[in-house]
Amino acid sequence: MELVIKGKDDRPKPNEKKQTAKAAQRLWQTKSTIVFKREDFIATDQLGIQKQDQIAQIAKKFVNTEQQEVLTQTTIAELNLNQHLAFKLEKHLNFHHLTPIQHLSFKPISLNQDVFIKSATGSGKTLAFLIPIMNQILQQKISRTDLRLLIISPTRELSAQTEQLVHLICNSTQLVALSLSGGISKDSEKASLRKGVNIICATPGRMLDHIKTTQSFPPLLEKLQYLVLDECDSLLAQNFTATFAQLTELIPKSVQKVFVSATISTQVQAFAQKFLRSPTLVQTKDLVLNAFRLPVNLRQRFVVSNPKTRLAVLIGLLAMHKQKRCLIFVESKAVCNFLNDILQRILKNFDIIGQIHVLHGGIQAEFRTKVHQEFLEQGGILITTDVAARGLNLGSVDCKNKDEDLLSGVDVVVQYEAPSSIEQYVHRAGRAGRIGQAGENYLFVLPNEIQLITMIVEQTGQNIEYLASDAIGMNVLDVKNPIRLFEKLQAFVEEQVKEDQDLKEMAINAYQGYISGYRAKDQVVKSCFDFSLLHLGHVAKSYGLNDAPSKLNSMTKRGRQQADVTREWKNSSEKTKSLERNKKEFKRGK
């Protein structure tokens, strides 16, 4: 396969190479110590091409696997739903055909069976339980104090999103829905609970808080009919079992339970066996064959990049998708904060990327809710840790209907830092290509991490295409050769980091966060992340840092404070030793 490198025919002749190199050096030397070499890109390109050929052979083994259709032939009209529910689904959500998991879930849930729904991310699991449950609730005559449905989600963002969908369905009915989660006034929630509510979407912590402190809440639970645990595996990762045990003491034994998850671990299986009564397992055919599965309409690609070129390549990729809604995944809030700051500067100075938003667990609850809503309304780029990786529909620029946006995903996912497990890769990638929509997923890997691509293909049974770095960012800023573009962007980043001490501290914190988290990978993929193969100086470059890695800690406020404490301790220790010596000498003098 021929290497595609822009400007190949324009390379200088041998006798001109030295002069051209000097000119390039003069062009950038005032701003950067880096002039990116073609050899670096050729080396990673060869790695990528070799890996693509290898995984293509692996993916062929799965060709005969029956592909799951995105939508079934079953229509909303065929279900004989409550008239109001059918109208909301068809007219407001433009939803006419069920997905396979929705089709399979409808009957057992309608028959009041305990159900465990296992389906690929982006397959429509939320409506899989909402359609049959809401259909039954809407046919009942209930008062405001009759709590019928409780949906528990692992994050406030997912809970708020589910509540939005429930609210849309309940609009123009007598039903009242409420969200119980951080970021909302607890007193306001208490007032709503006192008045009565029919449907609650809650996070575990806030729900437990109200059980303990709100007198009107436990009596409401006595009338509960349906209990849904959304993203069950994530809930259990939060030590949810004890909270759920307390909840089961307050609800009727007859409550119908629905557990929802994309995966079933040993822990999840044991939890389901303990709390579900003769459950019906609902799963699509593709999940019977594969532990992990992603939508067939999601285009998966990988980028092999050296650490020192990685940030510039990311910016070039975002410039290619300026008009799309993009989600960038990183491992730590420190990296989130650094990327947010530097991309804001790129936007301000070059205007080649979309609006920037940032979301991670360190942001206060009310601001996280605000950021989530702003991204839904404005689009652009959302930089996030895995807090947003599970269950969130973050909207698509191609979705013109605000209500439909509740069911859609982002256009582009960028896994800028490699995931810690295959499961994490699947959940991240699944934010795009939801329920039949087209989507793209880009996974960045360093040369020493490339074996991860093989593992992903073996686990998912789906091919991942290679995207060469020099095919990214063509004609951005009127630069024809992408390598020159990457140099220009890297020079800007390094200049900003050098001149702004606050940004430099962000960069150092991000670098240190990346380094400390590099070893914290799942055992299955740990062999792909050999710390000894990292070039720490080049990794520092990806944060715009030119200083030796060994000196970086002393350049932050925290590092300087630690150094001051150490010096004070040493000085104090020396003073103590000096006093002891003086005492001994005084005694000898006597």
Q: What is the per-residue pLDDT across 361-383, written as a single tens digit (0 to 9) for each? A: 788 777 877 888 888 888 899 99
pLDDT at 455: 93
253: CATH: 3.40.50.300
Query: 85 and 48 in one domain?
Result: no
Q: Do 284 and 433 belong together in one domain?
A: no
Q: What is the mean pLDDT of the chain?
A: 84
Distance of alpha carbon 90 from alpha carbon 169, whole angstroms: 11
Residue 5 inside a domain? The answer is: no
- pLDDT tens per residue, range 522-566: 787 889 999 999 999 999 999 999 999 988 877 765 555 554 545
Strand partners, 150: 200, 227
β-pair partners for 301: 442, 465
Model pLDDT for residues 464-502, shown as the tens digit of each residue? 999 998 789 888 888 888 999 999 999 999 999 999 999
In this predicted model, which residue has the larger pLDDT, 123 or 303? 303
- Residue ranges making up the domain that contains 187: 77-289
CA-based end-to-end distance of the chain = 91
- The domain boundary, picked from 289, 317, 334, lies at 289
Neighbours of 264 (CB within 10 A): 19
Region label for 230, one of left (φ > 0), alpha (ψ between -120 and 50) or beta (otherwise): beta
Q: Are residues 401 and 526 in the same domain?
A: yes
pLDDT above 60: residue 290: no
Q: Is residue 21 part of a domain?
A: no
Residue 356 has pLDDT above 90, yes or no: yes
Instruction: Decide if 413 contacts 442 (C-beta within 8 A).
Output: yes
| Distance between CA atoms of residues 422 and 214, nearest Å | 41
Which stretches does DSSP call E strand in 213-325? 226-229, 256-261, 280-283, 298-304
Say what the alpha-carbon torsion angle 125, 128, 134, 136 is, to the nearest 10 degrees.
Answer: -150
352 lies in a domain? yes
**Nearest to 512, CA basis, from 540, 535, 541:** 540
Q: What is the DSSP string of 497-535?
A: HHH-HHHHHHHHHHHHHHHHHTT---TTTGGG--GGG--
- Which residue, among 510, 539, 546, has the nearest Cα to 337 in the 3D structure? 510
In 32-184, DSSP assigns E strands to 115-118, 149-152, 177-180
Asked whether residue 300 falls in the same domain as residue 239, the answer is no
Average pLDDT over residues 93-98: 87
Confidence category of residue 274, pLDDT binned at 50, 70, 90 = very high
Residue 118 three-state SS: strand
Tokens describing residue 291: 């532990």
Supply φ then ψ for residue 151, to 5 degrees. Answer: -115, 120
Q: How far is CA 270 from CA 232, 276, 282, 511, 558, in A?
A: 12, 10, 17, 39, 44
Separation of alpha carbons 519 and 530, rounded Å = 8
Close Cβ partners of 61 (under 8 Å, ≥ 6 residues apart): 461
Tell me, yes or no, whether 259 and 122 share the same domain: yes
Kindly state the percentage of the chain with pLDDT values over 70.
82
Is 489 a domain residue? yes
Examine the domain organization and report whether 467 and 344 are in the same domain. yes
pLDDT of 22 above 70: no
Does a structural domain hold residue 518? Answer: yes
How many structural domains comprise the chain? 3
Cα distance between residue 456 and residue 415, in whole Å: 13
Same-domain check for residues 545 and 563: no
| Residues 3, 275: Cα–Cα separation, whole Å | 57
Whether residue 27 lies inside any domain: the answer is no
d(CA 514, CA 516): 6
Q: Give residue 570's pLDDT band: very low, low, confident or very high (50, 70, 90).
A: low
Instruction: Provide the pLDDT for residue 24.
Output: 39
> Of 173, 234, 170, which Cα lies nearest the Cα of 200?
170
| Buried b or exposed e, range 51-81, using 16+ CB within 10 angstroms | bbeebeeebeebeeeeebebbeebebeebeb
Positive or negative torsion for Cα 454, 456, 461, 467:
negative
Q: What are phi and psi of 445, to 5 degrees?
A: -130, 145
Q: Which of 338, 337, 323, 434 is nearest to 71 (CA)?
A: 434
Taking only the tens place, the pLDDT of each residue in 138-186 is 999 999 999 999 999 998 888 988 998 999 999 889 999 999 987 778 9
- For residues 267 and 184, membership in a common domain is answered with yes
d(C-alpha 517, C-alpha 42), whole Å:
29
Give pLDDT, residue 21. Answer: 43
Q: What pLDDT sits at residue 69?
A: 57
Q: Is the pLDDT of residue 590 over 80?
A: no
SS (H, E, C) 427-471: HHHCCECCCCCCEEEEEEECHHHCHHHHHHHHHHCCCCEECCHHH
DSSP 315-350: HHHHHHTTTS-EEEE-S-HHHHHHHHHHHHHHHHHH
Same domain? 163 vs 226: yes
pLDDT in tens, 5-17: 344 444 445 455 4
Does one domain contain both 304 and 367?
Answer: yes
